[in-house]
């Protein structure tokens, strides 16, 4: 039996090798982003972002890093998620989300609406759009951003918006009204991402 044959004498299916550079670049960017967040905004929301970016990285490596998304349906849903993210952040901005977070956790570190807009609305807004374009061409780094929305900006963010009102004494907290939409869209995106990955993996093994 040769190295390219199975025990039954059939040719073995070699698992294609994947370039490691995208994973390294994203790991460095995620680490830099996490350090920046921990150093500039209140610790509690920074910790949520660190958890979200890390979990998303693990999910990406386990799924669409090896088999980038090909379905236009997934990209279309992701772009709908991005559009809803802007609506969600409009609610946060008009309700003074950064100020309310500082007050909720009695944080000694300030967080201005200007910094919130520049980073999470305009900065991330540009990245979300670029990721959608990259996903159309199976760019691996872009696929990380799909997972970062699904698990981070979507799922974990939505759950945190249900927790904040409890911590504030059952009072309204900016972003609460649109959190349910985030939860629904993120779960739908996760389901499609996992489903396509399983289908592609099964086809590769067959």
Whether residue 57 is contained in a domain is answered as: yes
Residues 65/145, Cβ–Cβ less than 8 Å? no
The verdict on residue 165 lying in a domain is yes
- Which range of residues forms the domain containing residue 121? 21-205
Asked if residue 96 belongs to a domain, the reply is: yes
pTM of the model: 0.88
In a domain, 9, yes or no: no
Q: How many domains does the chain have?
A: 1
The answer to whether residue 8 is domain-embedded is: no
d(CA 173, CA 155): 17
* Phi, psi (rounded to 5 degrees) for 73: -65, -40
Its sign, for the CA torsion 156, 116, 149, 143, is negative
pLDDT digit string, tens, across residues 154-163: 999 999 999 9
- Report residue 206's pLDDT band, with 50, 70 and 90 as the boundaries: low
Q: How far is CA 1 from the centre of its chain?
A: 45
* 55-80 pLDDT per residue, tens: 999 999 999 999 999 999 999 999 99
């Amino acid at each position: 039996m040769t190295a390219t044959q199975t025990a039954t004498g059939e040719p073995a299916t070699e698992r294609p090798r994947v370039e490691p550079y995208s994973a390294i670049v994203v790991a460095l960017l995620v680490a830099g982003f996490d350090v920046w967040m921990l150093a500039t905004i209140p610790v509690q929301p920074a910790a949520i972002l660190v958890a979200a970016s890390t979990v998303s990285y693990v999910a990406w490596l386990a799924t669409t890093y090896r088999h980038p998304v090909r379905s236009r349906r997934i990209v279309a849903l992701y772009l709908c998620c991005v559009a809803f993210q802007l609506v969600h952040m409009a609610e946060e901005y008009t309700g003074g989300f950064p100020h309310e977070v500082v007050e909720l956790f009695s944080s000694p570190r300030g967080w201005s609406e200007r910094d919130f807009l520049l980073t999470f609305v305009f900065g991330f807004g540009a990245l979300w759009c670029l990721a959608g374009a990259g996903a159309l061409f199976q760019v691996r780094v872009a696929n990380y951003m799909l997972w970062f929305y699904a698990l981070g900006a979507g799922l974990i963010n939505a759950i945190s918006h249900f927790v904040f009102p409890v911590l504030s004494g059952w009072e309204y907290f900016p972003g609460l009204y649109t959190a349910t939409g985030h939860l629904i869209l993120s779960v739908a995106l996760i389901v499609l991402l996992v489903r396509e990955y399983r289908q592609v993996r099964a086809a590769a093994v067959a």
